[in-house]
Amino acid sequence: GSDHEAILEALSMERGQQNIDASQRQELIQSILAQQREQVANIMECQLENMVLGWIAGRGSGGEGGGATIAVKSDDGTPGGGSNDETEQLAEELEEVLRLTPDQKSRLVKATEGVEQERRAIETVDSCLEAMMAHSWLTNAGVEECAEQFMSILNQGQVSKFLLWTDHNSESIDRLDYVRAPPAGAPPQSGPTFVFGMDEAGAGDDLAD
């Protein structure tokens, strides 16, 4: 679609040279967030399958199935709306189909330990992405204005060089602690290493290869 074409066009140009206005940028952000939610949904589906396997394996052996809690949905799709009889029927059908050996059950229970905590963590990520899509101010409040004030001082060539530098040093930038920065008089501490002179660094990388 048009979003993919815009992304490809931006990637084909030198960093900082593409002309994307605020509305286009917001559309691209929404498209990226939607793609991320699709990936999270795929992970949640796989996680649910793992939870079901752990639940089946732990039934009747005193295990908790990795801590997983399974509730059959009601007819309207509400989780936990199903009866205990429905849950038991589902379990019996799966046990009949899978015919897991005791060794397989033991390994599945062990493999799904902590799966409930992982499920809650994934749901939290999905909720955050959903909120960012529903409330545009979460993605651009203050950021657009601050970036515009800074970028308007630089010419396009300088913006391109700055963005390329941030790309090259992205791992070091991610390690910066913006919240708990040491006081000015604190003794030097080991921290991220930044690379300056990307042309020279690139040449060195080529030689190393």
What mean pLDDT is reported for the chain?
76
Banded model confidence at residue 209, pLDDT cuts 50, 70, 90: very low
pTM of the full predicted structure?
Answer: 0.57
Lowest mean pLDDT across 17-31, 42-56, 100-114: 17-31
Whole-number Å distance between alpha carbons of 108 and 32: 35
Whose tokens are 């939290």? That residue is 124
Q: Looking at residue 35, what is its pLDDT?
A: 94
Share of the chain above pLDDT 90, in %: 13
What ranges in 74-197 are assigned the alpha helix state H? 84-98, 102-111, 115-134, 137-140, 143-151, 156-168, 170-174
Q: How far apart are CA 55 and CA 15, in angstroms?
A: 50
> 64: which DSSP letter?
-
What average pLDDT score do residues 156-180 get? 84
Whether the pLDDT of residue 138 is over 90: the answer is no
Other CB atoms within 10 A of residue 181 CB? 9
Between the alpha carbon of residue 130 and those of residues 30, 35, 109, 137, 143, the distances in Å are 10, 11, 32, 13, 19
Give residue-wise pLDDT tens across range 58-82.
876 554 444 455 555 544 444 444 5
Question: Which structure tokens are listed for 160?
Answer: 């391109």
CA distances from 138 to 85, 122, 199 (A): 44, 20, 36
